[in-house]
Amino acid sequence: MERLVLLSDQELLAAYRAGSTRARELLFRKYSLLVERYIRAHVRDSEDVYNLRQEVLLKVLNGIRTTYRETGRLLPWVMTITVNVVNDYYRQRVKESEIILDEFPSSLMLSEDFSAEWDYLMRHERAYKILEQVCTDLSLEDRALIYAFFYENQSFRQMALSRGVSKSSCFKYLQRLLFRLRKMMMAAGVDESFLEE
């Protein structure tokens, strides 16, 4: 067992692929500190640092078994994954802040009497709650498709590839799904005039 500590990256990889749990632990320990240092330099929240480190190391260990090709050294590959995870973390935070800012019109911040805007926001909130309830009646696959289109901004090609169907089939299915969703919303009392009441 102690002999594994002296092995090179390639030998550790071979032992890990052969099923050695000790090799997995050594790979984890060897890169854990480097990954954590990089993340800590870019992310201030210690809980997020821990979560991102775990995410990177899990991707590394899974990638070694599936996608990693030994064309070079392991460290640059690990650090590329780390950089990508940190970038994804910040992209997600930007999306969340845009969603929060988009919900409040700028006129609400500027006007002294914002009761009309407040009523409008309350109608929006009610519509979102109804939409949330209506979406729970959809299948998990349908909800995933709507999420991919509206929240992840996936193209029809990306959605079709991930589902194993043609682009036109995906487009037609999404059209029918949105039409069905609209009918469900109208049955729940939300239509074009709902926000203008």
Q: Which residue has the higher pLDDT, 57 or 102?
A: 57
pLDDT in tens, 176-187: 888 888 888 888
Amino acid identity at 111: S
Residue 142 DSSP SS3: helix
Give the CB-side neighbour count of residue 149, counting CA atoms within 13 A.
Answer: 16
- What span, in angstroms and rounded, lies between the C-alpha atoms of 195 and 185? 13
As a whole number, mean pLDDT of residues 89-114 equals: 57
Q: Which domains does the chain have, with CATH numbers?
A: 2-99 (1.10.1740.10), 105-196 (1.10.10.10)
- What span, in angstroms and rounded, lies between the C-alpha atoms of 58 and 28? 9
pLDDT in tens, 19-32: 777 877 887 788 88
Model confidence, pTM:
0.45
| Residue 158, C-beta contacts closer than 8 angstroms, at least 6 positions apart | 148
User: Tell me, what's the pLDDT at 52?
Assistant: 92
As a whole number, mean pLDDT of residues 14-21 equals: 79
Assign 4 a pLDDT band (cuts: 50, 70, 90). very low
As a whole number, mean pLDDT of residues 166-172 equals: 87
- What span, in angstroms and rounded, lies between the C-alpha atoms of 121 and 100? 13
* Residue 194 predicted with pLDDT over 80: no
- Residue written as tokens 């995870």? 85
Q: ∠ CA(16), CA(22), CA(25), 5° rounding?
A: 85
**84 is written with which tokens?**
């990508």
